[in-house]
A and B are shown apart, each in its own frame.
Chain A
């Protein structure tokens, strides 16, 4: 049996089926499905955190979601391929968004300011120039090349 043959055989596997597989098959399943399994882990962690904050247990969540406790247990292990419908339902019950979506060109608001970091570490904008590095300005965004693009500024 070669690596490629095993890969082919595990393409259609679901988490339910993997419980009956050998370690090799499970390892290949995890390797091939790494991306969504990592999403599942993050959602599981969000649920655990929300349960703790709301002082709820898994049994209560199962009852409210009208699913078995075993299903909730699987979800919380971070190995369940959840549907959007399930995620939405759990989000509503827990009162917490379990997934969020990043900004993109069709939903972004125009930028308020563009700051440019000068070589002497002073900061300028297209309209204003600060001499020296102003300690009372906190830029809430990441560095893009030589520019910091900011949508929010907090004055201390």
Chain B
């Protein structure tokens, strides 16, 4: 598992959005999300496996095409939201990146080390967002993306996939702790050693 910056070489690799790449994987965990969310074949399979949930559950979508277009539209909106932070040059603005991530456990204090967080599309875009990107907070301007999910249920506790994602987020958290990476400043030592 290697920590990699998302915004590319022209941005500081110890600030902004980071993610991890697992051994022998073509894509890092962040890019993998958008590859999947834009892959019609993958989304069709998800739909087949979760028919009853998608068509009759919390979201009540009418058919496979509606589901695929909803996921792709939302992924595009999420990309737009994240791109805004590159394009407007606000990456170094201490408020902006923190403002788009919400604590995964809302009752937690903001000072929790490697706080589990998520980002989704704005409420104005849709009241029932399907997609989540999960991250660990290293500082108000630095988040490490651990993965994401198509959220098919009203709450996070429901569904095998959602549980897997939360477990994965926590295992990445443990791994970072074992590498002594618990805040943004620790990244400098991490990169020196790796």
Chain A residues within CB distance 8 Å of chain B: 1-4, 6, 22-24, 26-28, 30-31, 34, 37-38, 41-42, 44-45, 48, 73, 76-79
Tell me whether B30 is interfacial, beta carbon within 8 Å.
yes
Give me the interface of B with A, judged by CB distance under 8 Å: 6-8, 10, 30-31, 34, 38-42, 44, 64-65, 68-69, 72, 76, 79-80, 82-83, 86-89
Question: Residues of A contacting B6 with CB < 8 Å?
Answer: 23-24
Contact assessment for B40 and A23 in the assembled complex, using a CB-CB cutoff below 8 Å:
no
Closest-by-CB residue of B relative to A46 is: B65
Q: How far is the CB of B37 from chain A (nearest CB, A)?
A: 10
| Other-chain residue from A22, A23, A48 in contact with B44 (beta carbon distance below 8 A) | A48
Task: Report the minimal beta-carbon distance from A9 to chain B, rounded to whole angstroms.
Answer: 12
Give 16 CB contacts A-B under 8 Å: A4-B87, A24-B83, A26-B34, A27-B82, A30-B38, A30-B76, A37-B38, A38-B69, A41-B40, A41-B68, A41-B69, A44-B40, A45-B40, A45-B64, A77-B42, A79-B38
Residue numbers in A under 8 Å from B72 (CB-CB): 38, 41
Contacts of B68 in A (CB 8 A): 41, 45
When C-beta atoms are compared, the residue in chain B nearest to A40 turns out to be B40
Can you name the residue of chain A whose Cβ is closest to the Cβ of B19? A23
The distance from the CB of A78 to the nearest CB of chain B, in whole angstroms, is: 4
B-side contacts of A76, CB under 8 Å: 40-41
- Asked whether B83 lies within 8 Å of A45 as measured between CB atoms, the reply is no
B10/A1 in contact, CB under 8 A: yes
Query: Which one, B41, B64, B83, contacts A3 given CB within 8 A?
Result: B83
Contacts of A28 in B (CB 8 A): 83
Separation of A22 and B83 alpha carbons in the complex (Å) = 12
